[in-house]
Amino acid sequence: MQRHGRYYFTSESVTEGHPDKVCDQISDAVLDTIFKEDPMARVACETFCTKGLVIVGGEITTDTYVEVDNLVREVLTDIGYDDLRFGFTAQTVGVLNGIGRQSPDIAQGVDTGGAGDQGMMVGYANRETPELMPLPIMLAHKLVRRLSETRRAKTLPYLGPDGKSQVTVEYLDGRPLRVDSVVLSTQHDESILDKSGKKITEKSRKEIIETIVRPVLGKRLIDDKTRFFINPTGKFVVGGPVSDTGVTGRKIIVDTYGGWAPHGGGAFSGKDPTKVDRSACYMARYVAKNVVAAGLAEECTVQLAYAIGVAEPVGLYINTHGTAAVEERRIEALIRKHFQLTPRGIISTLKLRRPIYRQTAAFGHFGRTEPGFEWERTDKAQAMREEAGLGSRKARAVAA
């Protein structure tokens, strides 16, 4: 990232009611349901949703059974699509099941412990937030999470399940100074429209800012020049799958670092951990976070690369962006010593054969402190710091 001068960086997030996130949650709910009975299953589940229809497909090999129709309706109800005001309901939607079995050509390489696909996966960490994540994406996630909590608590009873946030942060010489602008688009019913019927009232706009935006951003990041764009088109009554189709895996930048770090290209949701698109990204984050927590660098990008059917990574790349406290070659050696980078090693280390995945499918996969996010631990940091010769001072173990 740019480090010198004044610049602005923007990240976005979406609520669990956004059509793409609806699909991510359904796909991961299928994975979780299978893993409860068959943790060795192979799952690659994709979902598509549109007005009145959900299609679930993919390649799944398992000894258990999933009632897909009922599961889809349970997920939609939990998200909040059980209210006719918002046009898409669990009770009335049609569900199509197009699931098949995994190709035996892929299985023969994975069964021996090899990677489920080729590709490169990226992990990242920096010192900008307590979660060791970039500030813009963390603020964007916190805004939509608060939006969701406010809707579920009925604090603002007119809110609907669909919503998006966007935060632009002003930086000076690599340090965040302030929030320059906030965009918050939230689905709502018609009760808060003004007399024209084309936009929400000023009262409701201010209510959303005071109830959702200011509590998240606090006083330090906001000043009198901060701009607030609340439902900037005017209104957002028609939302969710009624207004836009959703597809699993279409919010990969929201899922990761908000554009601050590179992305390997692979999506996460609906994939069991033999798919390194998911599991190796989790491991790369785990590695990068421990490097930063150990004080080996202020910022760290880790890239892993795999060949299908091959266990050991074909590539390991480290970039500390000029912030390393020791040579990067030394950091790479410590990574190779302390982290298991084969698919089986990743699965074992991060305990990935458990039904933990649906919770990852909204509000980002990284920077989380809830149980199950094993890749957010910093349990390797202290040992790495000591071996690097940086002393025995306790490393910054944010989420250990």
HEC per residue, the chain: CCCCCEEEEEEEEECCCCHHHHHHHHHHHHHHHHHHHCCCCEEEEEEEEECCEEEEEEEEECCCCCCHHHHHHHHHHHHCCCCHHHCCCCCCCEEEEEEECCCHHHHHHHCCCCECCCEEEEEEEECCCCCCCCHHHHHHHHHHHHHHHHHHCCCCCCEEEEEEEEEEEEEECCEEEEEEEEEEEEEECHHHECCCCCCECHHHHHHHHHHHHHHHHCCCCCCCCCEEEECCCCCCCCCHHHCCCEECCCCHHHHCCCCCCCCCCCCCCCECCCCHHHHHHHHHHHHHHHHHHCCCECEEEEEEEECECCCCCCEEEEECCCCECCCHHHHHHHHHHHCCCCHHHHHHHHCCCCCCCHHHHCCCCCCCCCCCCHHHCCCCHHHHHHHCCCCCCCCCCCCC
Q: What is the strand order of the sheet 315-319 is part of?
A: 119-126, 299-306, 315-319
pLDDT given for residue 399 in this prediction? 44
| pLDDT given at position 397 | 47
Rounded Cα distance, 320 and 76, in Å: 42
Each residue's pLDDT expressed in tens, for the chain with a length of 400 residues: 557 899 999 999 999 999 999 999 999 999 999 999 999 999 999 999 999 999 999 999 998 989 999 999 999 999 999 988 888 899 999 999 998 875 554 554 555 566 777 889 999 999 999 999 999 999 999 999 999 999 999 999 999 999 999 999 999 999 999 999 999 999 999 999 999 999 999 999 999 999 999 999 999 999 999 999 999 999 999 999 999 999 999 999 999 999 999 998 789 999 999 999 999 999 999 999 999 999 999 999 999 999 988 889 999 999 999 999 999 999 999 999 999 999 999 999 999 999 999 999 999 999 999 999 999 999 999 999 999 998 765 555 444 4
Residue 56 burial by Cβ neighbours in a 10 Å radius (0-12, 13-18, 19+) = buried
Q: The pTM is what?
A: 0.93
**Predicted local confidence at residue 83, as pLDDT:** 87
pLDDT of residue 113: 67
Q: Which residue has the tokens 């997030």?
A: 13
- Residues 28 and 193: beta-carbon distance below 8 Å: no
Per-residue pLDDT, 349: 98
The residue to which tokens 């927590």 are assigned: 293
The answer to whether 14 touches 21, Cβ cutoff 8 Å, is: yes
Placement of tokens 């079995």 in the chain: 101
Cα dihedral across residues 343, 349, 350, 351: positive or negative: positive
